[in-house]
Amino acid sequence: THFGYETVTESVKQERVAEVFTSVAESYDKMNDLMSLGVHRLWKDHFVSSLNPGATNPIGMPQRILDVAGGTGDIAFRMLQHAHVNNGNPNVHVTISDINPAMLAVGKQRSLSLPASHQSSLSFLEANAEVLPKTIADNSLDLYTVCFGIRNFSNMPAALKEAYRVLKPGGIFACMEFSKVDKYPIFNAIYKQWSFSAIPLIGQLVAGDRDSYQYLVESIERFPSQTEFRDMIAEAGFNIVGKGYEDLTGGVAAIHKGIKP
Ligand code: SAM
């Protein structure tokens, strides 16, 4: 049946993704810098400032944030820094959730060098974004983030439904993901050349793993366009503000947001 076929391909994808991230966990942070020439740091800084965690009215109100596919902690650590330091709000708590224990282990290790007050506002959760545990109650979160994770999910609509379930009314879904550069043909050609030639090669030379980086490049290619993905977010029930997304570096990445009504 069609359903049977889908189940098989979904579980194959999930296994492949597990292999990839178990294999890349140790080299993940270094590889991000090399593959993006450091630009991923600027995107992540921008993503977090645009969400302005910790800015509550009145000031100092608690906020609960879930960073899904949080991997080695880049987004969660920035959230805590922004909320606690920039906005002076220590009552912001972030949970890093990820399906992959190897990625979480690197994240936990890295978190040990954070200030103690940040560490005590951070938790880790091994979970599949498509079936979050019921310990994350319905309508319980202020902010749900997912960065460079959702294209790896086998069932994106299921994950969006879970995001909708756990957010409070008024809560924000925010996703940063690789996207399409179609508007700029020359830049797109250079970018494609970089992706398909340089990235697998860097993967081979630096991480000793060409196949995983080949998979990552192909998964970017298969991911829906900015408008298609926005429509999926709306389909899950979120309200879309304006055009619903912001392109970064000509669309190499894009930030999508939705608000739970
Ligand atoms: N958010 C981090 C960042 O921006 O650096 C890590 C992104 S990393 C490219 C993608 C992460 O998605 C991996 O850690 C992987 O284990 C996780 N992942 C893949 N499928 C998942 C799923 N179904 N549920 C939760 N996490 C998943």
Q: What string of DSSP letters covers 93-140? A: EEEEEES-HHHHHHHHHHHTTS-HHHHTTEEEEE--TTS--TTS-TT-
Positions of the chain with pLDDT lower than 70, given as ranges: 1-8
Q: Is 111 in the pocket of ligand 1 (CB under 6 A)?
A: no
- What are the distances in angstroms from CA 174 to CA 49, 137, 144, 149, 240? 12, 19, 6, 12, 11
CA of 58 to the centre of ligand 1 (A): 34
The residue whose C-alpha atom lies closest to atom 10 belonging to ligand 1 is 149
The confidence score (pLDDT) of residue 6 equals: 52
Q: Output the pLDDT for position 13.
A: 87
Q: How far apart are the C-alpha atoms of 17 and 26, rounded to whole Å?
A: 15
Our answer on whether the CB atom of 73 is closer than 6 Å to any ligand 1 atom is no
Contact 238 CB / ligand 1 (< 6 Å) = no
Determine how many CB atoms are found less than 10 A away from the CB of residue 8. Answer: 10
- Give me the residues paired with residue 147 across strands: 176
pLDDT of residue 49: 98
pLDDT at position 207 is 85
Distance 107 CA to ligand 1 centre (A): 12
Residue 43 identity (one-letter amino acid) = W
Report ipTM for this prediction: 0.99
Instruction: Report the pLDDT value the prediction gives residue 166, as an integer from 0 to 100.
Output: 98
The predicted structure's pLDDT at residue 24: 87
Residue 214: other Cβ atoms inside 10 A: 16
Amino acid at 26: E
Ligand 1 atom closest to 25 (CA): 14
Across the chain, where does the E strand assignment appear? 63-68, 92-98, 122-126, 141-147, 167-178, 245-248, 253-259
Distance linking the first and last C-alpha atoms of the chain: 36
Q: Is 132 in the pocket of ligand 1 (CB under 6 A)?
A: no
Ligand 1: does its nearest atom lie under 6 Å from the Cβ of 216? no
Whether the Cβ atoms of residue 260 and residue 173 lie closer than 8 Å to each other: yes
Residue 31 confidence (pLDDT): 87
Q: Residue 73 Cα, ligand 1 centroid: separation in angstroms?
A: 10
